[in-house]
Amino acid sequence: MVGTAGISSSAGTAPSAWAPFRAKSFRMLWIAQLSSNVGTWMQTVGAQWMLVHQPNATALTSAVQAASLLPVLFLSLPAGVLADVLDRRSLLITLSGVMAALCAALSALTAAGLTTPAVLIALTFVVGCGQALMGPGWQAIQPELVPRAQIPAAAALGSLNVNLARAVGPAIAGLIVAATGPEVVFGINAASFLGVVAALLLWRRPGQRASTPERLRPALASGTRYVRNAPGVRRLLLRSALFVVPASALWGLLPVVSSARLGLGSSGYGLLLGALGLGAIAGAVTIKRVRTRLDRNALLAVSTVAFALGTVACATLREPVVVGVALVVAGVGWLYALSTLNTTLQLALPGWVRARGLALYLMVFLGGQGVGTLLWGLLAGAAGTRATLLVSTGLLLAAAATLRAWPLHERTGTLDRDIVAPWPEPALDLDPAAADGPVLVEVTYQVPESDVPAFQEAMASVAASRRRTGATAWSLYRDVAGGSWVEVFQVASWGEHLRQHGERLTGYDADLLTRARTLTRAEPTVRHLVPPPRDEG
């Protein structure tokens, strides 16, 4: 699978829901993504159905899904760093080729009768590692394919893509597994990744502004530092975790519900998964209208309750048709929740750190789904599927209730995240090397006494901006002998500080600095201090 859940936002509306398809690159990659997503869902059904009749089926089927998702916990952030530092197109081509080879190997081993539960889970884990490495890069290229105004529409189409695959892939897989065997669906998934390779080779990525690539370790530090100092992003991650951990119970236990509670075969399980996908497609088609009536927090609450309804239906009902209808409702809720979270994040992140920010989101969302699936499977093995799904339902309803205390911040996703360079690079007598540091920057402001309270308030926002763009420490001091205020912040190296000037400052950050400077009597003075050369004697 390339990409994850689709995206949408309340922060802007595209002229047409289908406008992104006018861009050839978007259209081509969308079709390639659809084929890959269908293949991945087919492989998921094949893998889980191989284990559904084994002893400890609840734990084993949950372990398969957990094995595909847990790699994001330790690979997603490094993958985000790679996607921000390296050429994203080349990275995705390489990873797609590796994924094709891995899925082909799984198909060959299964055809030879060598795929034991341990082998299946191990290979699923390795394939999950490839997906974890691809996820941030694939997410980060989406805004490169369409204008910013079309990002919500492109996000909704991405969501439609994933959920169309969820509706079609499992149903096809169920028929193929019943008629032939799981090795065939594994082979189809391998071929689908070759289609992604072809589409990426045909894509001519627009030229990127030349700059010195960041080194991996500082890039990792700058990405996590950005998120720590972005309250809106942190709240998005919290909301993602509160939704996906209880929601993962339904995804992990649905094979057992299908087989043990409803008495269905592999094709019936595929149809239940297809019902979730059908609901998500309905959600993708209707979300634009729903967003005009509900704000993001109300939409998240409705989404969570809708998914809870599907979960409780699987716990209490035994009529497959009624359960299928409830799963359609749950699919709508799943789409609405993921759309709201994912696109708001896309619009909240500046380009220089987008892949790293999305990587942290994937760690929370997919990692939370993986850990949750594993834990729910173990609980179901001890307490039963019905009791486990009822606990999950209760936690989903509790998550919806917490939106009053921890809502998404109102301005998240609406701020100006275009990169600007409003100030010239520092005028220097010395010529520090990029690695020299740490760098201490002192900015002196002359502030009238009447403006001091407003200045202090403005500088609190500047502090967060400095940290987001590279500062490892920040302080504000007042000169006791006069009306001077001195801002002091430290950056790890001279190269990092130059990135603050020309590559990381967004329009919103510039506005924060301008607001503080309008409260001063004169233009601030700046000093840059670097350590003396080391004594080599």
Contacts of 341 (CB under 8 A, 6+ apart): 236, 239, 240, 243, 300, 361, 365
In this prediction, residue 12 carries a pLDDT of 40
Same fold, 23-205+232-404 and 439-529: no
Return the bridge partners of 529, or none: 440
What are the Cα distances from residue 341, in Å, to 2, 353, 382, 385, 413? 19, 18, 33, 29, 10
What is the residue extent of each domain of the chain? 23-205+232-404, 439-529
Q: What is the pLDDT along the chain (537 residues), one digit of tens a residue?
A: 554 443 333 334 444 667 888 888 888 998 998 898 888 888 887 887 787 777 777 777 777 777 877 888 888 888 888 888 888 888 999 999 999 999 999 999 989 888 888 888 888 888 889 888 888 888 778 778 888 777 777 777 777 787 778 777 777 887 888 888 888 989 999 999 999 999 999 988 765 554 566 777 888 888 889 999 999 999 999 999 999 999 999 988 998 898 888 888 767 877 888 888 888 888 878 888 898 899 999 999 999 999 999 999 999 999 999 999 999 999 999 989 988 898 888 888 888 888 888 888 888 888 888 888 888 988 998 999 999 999 999 999 999 999 999 999 988 888 888 888 777 677 777 788 888 889 999 999 999 999 999 999 999 999 999 999 999 999 999 988 877 999 999 999 998 898 888 888 899 999 999 999 999 988 899 999 998 876 544
CB atoms within 10 A of CB 351: 17
Identify which of 77, 74, 52, 49 has the alpha carbon closest to the alpha carbon of residue 128: 74
Tokens coding 499? 């990135």
Tell me the helix, strand and coil percentages in the chain, rounded to 5.
Answer: 70, 5, 25
Q: Which residues on adjacent β-strands are paired with residue 180?
A: none
- Burial of 129 from C-beta contacts in 10 A (0-12 / 13-18 / 19+): buried
Sign for the CA dihedral angle at 506, 507, 512, 517 comes to positive
User: Can you name the CATH fold of 439-529?
Assistant: Alpha-Beta Plaits (3.30.70)
**What is the model's pLDDT at position 10?**
38
Length of the chain: 537
Neighbours of 453 (CB within 10 A): 10
Q: Return the pLDDT at 14.
A: 41
What pLDDT score was predicted for residue 443? Answer: 94
Q: Does domain 23-205+232-404 have CATH number 3.20.20.20?
A: no
**Is residue 81 within 8 Å of 226, Cβ to Cβ?**
no
534 exposed, middle or buried (CB, 10 Å; 0-12, 13-18, 19+)? exposed
Q: Which two tokens stand for residue 432?
A: 């520090």
